[in-house]
A and B are shown apart, each in its own frame.
Chain A
């Protein structure tokens, strides 16, 4: 670990990588929370994978692949959202198809791109060490757009995530906010592709928020905790991968996965213990689920 810290002081690219992880974590914490509570991980996966189509096309026509990714992500978010709204019954089939079609298009474009074949692996699995300084500015801009949108429409996004029918009755344009939410997911996917690549994006989009959800029971709280966890996972994964020269993306994901499994087991045990304590306590009312735990000790 000390080796990593020395390297951090020495190498510019490592500091850029660390900063990229930090910026990506904001998106994964804020939008990942919506992905988890609204249970749209599969849709998010579809958006993430079809992004390869846009990156391939951008390479072929000589644009910045990240710009291609952003456009492709937004287009596929709107298509997937439209599919879900129009053909609700076959949602999973159609999202699955778009998922594969997007990737197929991307691989064809990359295969036909003249000259030295670009590193396909770094799109699929990310390479945080290759993040450029100017990418950081794009990432910061995307973060700002995400946070501003969520802050301005917090009530509407909460209502649409919680109860679409009731939101519609209260005059919230549900279709608009649903599609906007998917577009925010698309932007977050592009943020995260830099760090872990488009195959692994879905893990970083869901795991930090899911771990936060084990302990926090408000949307805002989940966003903050998930962001902090995201920073921990990306920085920790980067540090762990540096010494043994492992790829950073998969290391970050394995770290996040390991923390998730431990946390799921732990929170399951805590819930069971709390239920046992409440069952032993006299009185008909079930107190609030949190903040009612007395000092530790199972004696009764």
Chain B
């Protein structure tokens, strides 16, 4: 018998980690996405911006396989989105759980390990070790025994990020991770994401194009259709076309 070769990654380097082609989706007779093409290369840090109801969250849900495309196709790591979930880490915009749920931060982060071990029984020591590593990475190790409902917005966001990281993803997907926190913490979180980008492909949705352009490599503007820009090309004219209104671009010093 020949020895098994361990492949690094799946496929060649040139293969995109996310490939969206001619994607269309509508809720009822209200089209949300029309003819969307998007290619994300391994190691990229892509910002997805656009007005409210422009289809950003819908596009994420399609990439995560929570919704099925009505036209066109999505490949994630060369597979159907449902089959690639194991390699995706997801941070939702709003916590989708009740704040008074009787659960500790450690237990919440442990949920990110579901699907990695055997399906029956309890978490293993390796899972708990991974939780500590992930919490340390987002600088929230001291929060581990706290009840989830006692965290501030910024602390909660770090914990949800740890929950996404603990599953050892290859792609990190964040939906407005800084929507409910103040700007100083927002900067901290994006600096953390920039560090994580050294080993992960990151797709982040934001409403604040001017702010994220200081961190991401490329900005994709989505308002039913999608246009990509390099970050240095983001200016008032583009913002105007995207939002159909005057938007002040705020220069952030870092």
Contact = CB atoms under 8 A, between A and B. Distances in A.
Q: Do most interface residues of chain B lie in helix, strand or loop, or is the interface mixed?
A: loop
Interface in B143-157: 145-147, 149-150, 152
Contact of B102 (A159, A165, A168, A222): A222
Contacts of A156: 114, 119
Task: Name which of A161, A162, A166 has the most chain B CB atoms within 10 A of its CB.
Answer: A166
A159 B121 CA distance: 13
A247 interface: no
Contact of B104 (A152, A168, A218): A218
B167 interface: yes
Interface string A162-204: 1111111111100000000000000000000000000000000
Contact of A163 (B97, B119, B123): B97
A230 interface: no
A161 B98 CA distance: 10
A155 interface: yes
Contacts of A218: 102-104, 107
B111 A158 contact: yes
Contacts of A213: 102
A7 interface: no
Given A152-B120, A159-B114, A169 B97 contact: no
A286 B151 CA distance: 9
B111 A165 contact: no
Task: Name which of A158, A170, A172, A290 has the most chain B CB atoms within 10 A of its CB.
Answer: A170
Given A37-B101, A216-B102, A217-B102, A159 B111 contact: yes
Contacts of B98: 37, 39
A219 interface: yes
A219 B103 contact: yes
Interface in A122-169: 152-156, 158-159, 161-169
A156 B97 CA distance: 15
Interface string B75-92: 000000000011010101
A261 interface: no
B220 to A, nearest CB: 22
Nearest to A173: B119
A166 B120 contact: no
- Contact count band on B: 35 or more
Nearest to B97: A163
Q: Do most interface residues of chain A lie in helix, strand or loop, or is the interface mixed?
A: helix
B66 A168 contact: yes
A166 B163 contact: yes
Given A152-B120, A163-B96, A172 B107 contact: no
B63 to A, nearest CB: 11
A288 interface: yes
A158 B120 CA distance: 13
A289 interface: yes
A155 B146 contact: no
B12 to A, nearest CB: 27
Contact of B114 (A155, A165, A222): A155
A165 B93 CA distance: 12
A288 B147 contact: yes
Interface in B80-139: 85-86, 88, 90, 92, 95-98, 101-104, 107-108, 110-112, 114-115, 119-123
A76 B3 CA distance: 54
Contact of B122 (A39, A155, A219, A288): A155
A37 B101 CA distance: 6
Contacts of B101: 37, 161-162
Nearest to A163: B97
B92 A219 contact: no
B49 interface: no
B64 interface: yes
B156 to A, nearest CB: 13
Given A155-B122, A288-B145, A288-B150, A166 B103 contact: no
7 contacts: A39-B98, A161-B101, A163-B111, A169-B88, A217-B104, A222-B102, A288-B150
Given A218-B102, A288-B145, 7 more contacts: A37-B102, A161-B101, A163-B111, A166-B90, A169-B85, A170-B167, A289-B149
